[in-house]
Each structure stands twice: as C-alpha cells, then as structure tokens.
Amino acid sequence: MIAHIVLFQPKPDLSATDRRAFVDALREAFASIPAIRRVRLGIRRTHGAAYEAVTTHDLTIGAVLEFDDLNALQAYLDHPAHQDLGARFRASAAVSWVYDYEMSDLDGLEDLLGRMIDDDRSR
C-alpha cells in the first residue's frame, strides 16, 4: 500500500471563498478518482510532547491518502480532478510537505527494512 501524506499550513489571508473552493476541489477529487482507497483528514493537536518543541513549521492540516500501489497513485496524480485540486492547493498553502511511503503491517517490517538497506547500498 502507498500512503500519500500531505501536511500543510493554509495561507493566513486565505479568503472564505478560496477556502470553500479548496474544500470543494477536495470533495470532487475524493469522490471522482477511483484509485483512492481511503482518505483521512485531520487538524494537528498539540499536547506538550517533547517532539513538538523541535518542529520547524506549524503544519496544522494533515491528509493521508491510501493507494493500492504506485500505479494507482500515478492515476490519482494524473486525474483531471487532482490537477484542479493541486492548483487550488498551491494557491491555498503557505507551507506544505508532501511525501509518498510504501507502507507495511508489522508482519512485513523485516522485508521492508531489508529493502531499505538494499536501497542504501545501491546508492
């Protein structure tokens, strides 16, 4: 499974109209792109943990999109609804980080770590 992880901070001066357009683009993309297996959205919560003191940005919004494989992720990225979402995202975000991860359950951890080591050796 591939997790597409998006963390961002909306622009502080983002208008209500632009916020609504971004949310509408999110809904359209999530409803119309069949390659998406699951979507989770969230707002950052702080609770005094030590790692909070060393974060370099306050990225208040998070999204995790799940895909069966890299082909499904690519289908999502190429979809016209994602093109619109991407444009609205770039216009709405002050700061963002986007990463893709191949995910595994704990049972697959040994294989995943072995491939990580092999990838490091091939560099």
Give the pLDDT of the chain (123 residues) as one tens digit per residue: 999 999 999 999 999 999 999 999 999 999 999 999 999 999 999 999 999 889 888 899 999 999 999 999 999 999 999 999 999 999 999 999 999 999 987 777 777 778 777 776 666
Quick one: angle between helices 16-32 and 80-92, nearest 10? 150
Nearest residue to 92 (alpha-carbon basis) of 16, 2, 1: 16
Range of the domain at 90: 2-121
CATH assignment of the domain containing 45:
3.30.70.100
**Burial (CB count <10 Å: 0-12, 13-18, 19+), residue 25:** buried
CB-side exposure of 81: number of CA atoms within 13 Å?
A: 16
Looking at the 3D structure of the chain, how many domains does it have? 1
